[in-house]
Amino acid sequence: MKRLVLLSHVFFIQLLMADPLPQTRTAVFAGGCFWCIQPAFDKAPGVIKTVVGYCGGTEPSPTYALVGSEKTNYRESIEITYDPAKINFDQLLDIYWRQINPTQSDGQFTDIGPSYRAAIFVQNEEERKIAEASKTKLAASGRFDKPIVTEILPAMKFWPAEEYHQKYYQQKPTEFEMFEAGSGRKAFEKKKWNDGKPESR
């Protein structure tokens, strides 16, 4: 019994001495089909978790059918939980720009409609300034011959999508690859981002 008590004390002391859990933050982006923007963020060092879902609307507990009806202000989105000591908001934006067509205002690629419009949802003034600077930098880069129209919007409640949408690229890789290629995303990415940095899908 004494041995068990001693071991429990040792374990408790080790817990106290252990490094605290990293302080995490979240970022929410809308970028058209949420299946297609998830893989790049999952691969990014410092990203702890991603969840696809809906953001931008006010109806409670939105469903895929409701959002897809295009009768709400919801957009297909992704919520990214990250460790700011390993990756910052600006670096997440660098990844984000490579997943979308920032000159398209009616949706993304072949997905047309309000629920597919791109947006950066900012949670505070600091994020707004970073997002605006990143957007300005992209516009000045010369990569695009049309205006950058991706919106920067105040953060709203994020609702996770149904489970069958989560990590779709892992659940149904063949279907995902066919859809991604057919949408024109891969060809656009190759055309506009052929320098290879930062890494995308």
Q: Which residues are the active-site residues? A: 33
- Burial (CB < 10 A; 0-12, 13-18, 19+), residue 186, is middle
- Closest by CA position to 67, among listed 34, 38, 41, 99: 34
Q: CB under 8 Å to 65, separation ≥6 — which residues?
A: none
How far is the C-alpha of 97 from the C-alpha of 91, rounded, in Å?
A: 10
Q: How many CB atoms lie within 10 A of CB 17?
A: 7
